[in-house]
């Protein structure tokens, strides 16, 4: 098992939730995402994996699922999520790297990854991990930042931006922050066996002037309307995809366990009061303040 995975964009001690969402003018983006999730999520599910859960901003929106596993590399983000959502059988908090998910194959019947793929230097590798831990049939809701958005196209055509929004390779506009081409995302998902059921474009009106002039409800309502064209074209900065693994896939949840060792890949994992121990390589993963820590 290779441990050489790409670098992580570390949110340790970041006040992202407060500075980006609560104290900034982003009620429109948050409302537009809530609409997209309502449209894409199934009414019911058993075990949902939330990849890059952050401070749990979206977690209450997964109300149809019996249990939710919140994964984030940042322990402090998960502490904020835990403070928001509390301790219950419904939520499991896991500090881990998306590239090395500590779960057995085919464990989840649903997964989401919102505003997180844009930190992945190797997006296909991250998507392959999501696919590995999903059962078939399973549902994957992915949000990604699109390089093919109208602002980027206009800037490129006017000579104000060097990178080409029409080509398929990701663009790293700030260190460990990437925009992707919609066709590349579809290709990667397709190669992993996902069928793309629906695409919703989000944040059509992400311009300061619109936000100043139009009331929030109207902005979100208009966005909800425009987003229905998402299957036809994707020209917004943010795109949601609902992808499914067809039921005849061969990776139905067959393993009895839950966790898988991210260091050696072993599935003989023993629960102890202090955390989880891998009985293959003897690695111990602590449980601290209600959060399992699988970062290696």
Q: Considering the complex, what minimum distance in angstroms separates the CB of residue 254 from ligand SAM? A: 26
Residues 205-264 interacting with ligand SAM (rule: CB under 6 A): none
Residue 114 touches ligand SAM, criterion: CB under 6 A: yes
- If the CB atoms of residues 70 and 278 are measured against ligand SAM, the closer one turns out to be 70
Site string for ligand SAM, 69-98 (x = CB under 6 A): ---xxx--x-------------------xx
Per residue, the 3-state secondary structure of the chain, as one string, reads CCCCCCCCCCCCCCCHHHHHHHCCCCHHHHHHHHHHHHHHCCCCEEEEEEECCCCCCCHHHCCCEEEEEEEECCHHHHHHHHHHHCCCCCEEEEECCHHHCCECCCCEEEEEECCCHHHCCCHHHHHHHHHHHEEEEEEEEEEEEECCCHHHHHHHHCCCCCCCCCCCCCEEEECCEEEECHHHHHHHHHHCCCEEEEEEEECCCCCHHHHHHCCHHHHHHHHHHHHHHCCCCCCCCEEEEEEEECCCCCCCCCCCCCECCCCCCCCCEEEECCEEEECCCCCEEEEECCEEECCC
Residues 4-33 interacting with ligand SAM (rule: CB under 6 A): 8-9, 11, 16
Residue 109, Ramachandran bin (φ over 0: left; ψ between -120 and 50: alpha; else beta)? alpha
Residue 204 touches ligand SAM, criterion: CB under 6 A: no
Among the listed residues 32, 47, 54, 293, the single contact to ligand SAM using CB under 6 A: 54
- If the CB atoms of residues 95 and 184 are measured against ligand SAM, the closer one turns out to be 95
Q: Considering the complex, what minimum distance in angstroms separates the CB of residue 60 from ligand SAM? A: 12
Q: Considering the complex, what minimum distance in angstroms separates the CB of residue 5 from ligand SAM? A: 8
Residue 149 touches ligand SAM, criterion: CB under 6 A: no
Among the listed residues 36, 49, 57, 244, the single contact to ligand SAM using CB under 6 A: 57
Binding footprint of ligand SAM, residue count (CB under 6 A): 20
Residue 119 touches ligand SAM, criterion: CB under 6 A: yes
Q: Considering the complex, what minimum distance in angstroms separates the CB of residue 15 from ligand SAM? A: 12
- If the CB atoms of residues 53 and 141 are measured against ligand SAM, the closer one turns out to be 53
- If the CB atoms of residues 11 and 136 are measured against ligand SAM, the closer one turns out to be 11
- Number of neighbours of residue 86 by Cβ within 10 angstroms: 10
Among the listed residues 52, 102, 106, 110, the single contact to ligand SAM using CB under 6 A: 52
Strands 171-174 and 134-145: unpaired
Position closest to ligand SAM via CB: 54
Interface positions with ligand SAM (CB under 6 A):
8-9, 11, 16, 52-54, 57-58, 72-74, 77, 97-99, 114-116, 119
């Amino acid at each position: 098992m290779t441990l050489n995975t790409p670098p992580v964009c570390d949110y340790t001690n970041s006040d992202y939730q407060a500075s980006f969402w609560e104290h900034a003018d982003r009620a429109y983006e948050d409302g537009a995402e809530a609409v997209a999730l309502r449209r894409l999520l199934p009414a019911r599910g058993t075990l949902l994996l939330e990849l890059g859960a952050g401070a749990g901003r979206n977690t209450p929106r997964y109300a149809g699922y019996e249990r939710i596993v919140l994964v984030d590399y940042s322990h402090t983000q998960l502490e904020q999520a835990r403070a928001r959502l509390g301790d219950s059988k419904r939520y499991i908090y896991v500090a881990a790297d998306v590239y090395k998910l500590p779960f057995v194959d085919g464990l989840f019947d649903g997964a989401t990854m919102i505003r997180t793929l844009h930190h992945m230097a190797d997006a296909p590798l991250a998507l392959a991990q999501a696919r590995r831990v999903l059962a078939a049939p399973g549902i994957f809701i992915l949000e990604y930042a699109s390089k093919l958005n109208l602002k980027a196209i206009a800037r490129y055509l006017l000579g104000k931006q060097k990178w080409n929004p029409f080509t398929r390779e990701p663009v790293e506009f700030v260190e460990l922050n990437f925009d992707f081409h919609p066709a590349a995302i579809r290709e990667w998902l397709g190669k992993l066996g996902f069928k793309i059921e629906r695409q919703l474009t989000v944040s059509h009106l992400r311009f300061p002037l619109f936000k100043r002039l139009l009331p929030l409800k109207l902005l979100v309502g208009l966005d909800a309307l425009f987003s229905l064209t998402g299957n036809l074209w994707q020209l917004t900065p943010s795109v949601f995809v609902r992808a499914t693994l067809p039921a005849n896939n061969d990776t139905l949840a067959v393993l009895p366990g839950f966790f898988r060792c991210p260091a050696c890949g072993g599935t003989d994992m023993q629960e102890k009061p202090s955390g989880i121990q891998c009985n293959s390589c003897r690695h111990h993963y602590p449980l601290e303040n209600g959060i399992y820590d699988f970062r290696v």
